[in-house]
Amino acid sequence: MKITLVGTGHVGLITGTCLAEIGHMVTCYDVDRDKIQLLKRGCLPFFEPGLNEMVKKNTENGRLSFTYSIRDALLNSEIIYITVGTPMGTDGQIDLNYIYTASDQIAEHITNKVIIVMKSTVPIGTNRIIKERIQAVSSGRASIEIVSNPEFLREGTAIHDTLFAERIIIGSDSKYAAEVVEKINQPFDIPIFKTDLQSAELIKYSSNAFLATKISFINEIAQICERVGANIEDVAYGMGLDSRIGSKFLRAGIGYGGSCFPKDVSALIQTATMHNVDMNIIKAANVVNQHQQVVLIKKAKQRFGSLHNKKAAILGLSFKPNTDDIRDSPAVRVMNILLDEGVQMTAYDPVAIENVRKLFGDDIYYSSSIEGALVNAEMAFIFTEWEEIKKVPLSKYKELMSSPVLFDGRNCYSLEEVSQYPIEYYSIGR
């Protein structure tokens, strides 16, 4: 089947590549010419393990192509995926402008029967509005059906998540359109659940809100652990042995971030408020997360008093390992506060340095190695649990920092290990 994706970011590029991988003819379109030119030269606009090889394979076999011409992208295309961003606006509402612009562009160029597949995460009710909008702008030139097909991939494991997802959700008011999208996805051999538009939209939001709540729940338990002398790692492990609870997303740390959880949680709260429903649990998850992200600053201030002019090593900048995405990264929020406190920071991340440099410029120092960041630092913060950061031998901290004080926001080391080294160690919930 010939498929066009409008928006070639994290979701668009990964979805498009995986659809090509299972045999479809895919065109990825983006308004960002630089991004498309980069892709045409065989380079990726962001870091994602395994993606480079798969893009290369599918461009070489002719199933995957890139364009910044909307006309070329939509020529004879009957299946159009919308994969543009839906960031949070400054007023806290989801900014749907990219969705509206993309829809209007589609409406101007389509001429026959098309199915719009919405992969972007959009507030409940948006798909219906978009269908009407495209119908109106295209002045009846084309017949349109819309399908909500929310995306659940996680950056860092996105290829695996797409090829081996646990479910594919297809929501539509059109039985025909739902069946076409089901057929497109059949080669993935993943369980498919078909439902109506609003339910599909809400499945996406509820899933992310539930996972965010699970993280905030364990982070709140971590706070009690610190007061009563319990160990959050043991508590989470013991809880997770119960299959009704499960061990995933029960890792205490400095809270969730990224381009999805914070904005999806806010969007669900906003939608509920509009419908006079008070989302007490989800609001609390958000509040707990706001506190949790800055918990290491409190610990550092308790330890040092003023942080002014102190030298700090920052290890890990992306919102989670295996991605260079720093959107809503807890590390970035904490670094902004540390900057205001007058801390001299040297930051290290395996792949996210360049993105962070765009935000902080010359306000902080950057290191191309963990060792370079640690040298002469008075304190070190671990914000992202990259494998290579987790593997730093504790002896290194002693070797490179004169009197090492380590604030570990991801509980990378066991207390037993740490006790064997002359390191002052502060972690979460232990």
155 binds ligand NAD (CB under 6 A): yes
73 binds ligand NAD (CB under 6 A): no
343 binds ligand NAD (CB under 6 A): no
Sequence-separated (6 or more) residues with CB below 8 Å from residue 227: none
Q: How far, in Å, CA of 74 to CA of 77, rounded?
A: 5
Q: How many residues bind ligand NAD (CB under 6 A)?
A: 27
Q: Enumerate residues 224-263 that contact ligand NAD by CB under 6 A.
A: 259-260
Our CA dihedral for 329, 28, 90, 212, rounded to 10 degrees, sits at -40
Query: Which of residues 86 and 216 has its CB atom nearest to ligand NAD in the complex?
Result: 86
Q: Which of 4, 17, 65, 83 binds ligand NAD (CB under 6 A)?
A: 83
Q: Which of 16, 27, 85, 222 binds ligand NAD (CB under 6 A)?
A: 85
Residue type, 10: H
Q: What is the DSSP code string of 108-137?
A: HH--SEEEEEE-S---TTHHHHHHHHHHHH
Selection from 172, 89, 120, 138 nearest residue 6 by Cα: 120
Active site residue 18: no
11 binds ligand NAD (CB under 6 A): yes
66 binds ligand NAD (CB under 6 A): no
Selection from 316, 416, 423 nearest residue 373 by Cα: 316
102 binds ligand NAD (CB under 6 A): yes
3-state DSSP assignment of residue 35: helix
16 binds ligand NAD (CB under 6 A): no
Q: What is the DSSP code string of 203-254?
A: HHHHHHHHHHHHHHHHHHHHHHHHHHT--HHHHHHHHHTSTTT-STT---SS
Query: Which of residues 359 and 375 has its CB atom nearest to ligand NAD in the complex?
Result: 359
Of these residues, 18, 28, 225, 260, which one is catalytic?
A: 260
Residue carrying structure tokens 């540390």: 338
12 binds ligand NAD (CB under 6 A): yes
* Residue nearest ligand NAD (C-beta atom): 9
Return the active site residues. 260
In the complex, the residues that contact ligand NAD under the rule CB under 6 A are 6-12, 29-32, 35, 83-86, 98, 101-102, 105, 120-121, 151, 153, 155, 259-260
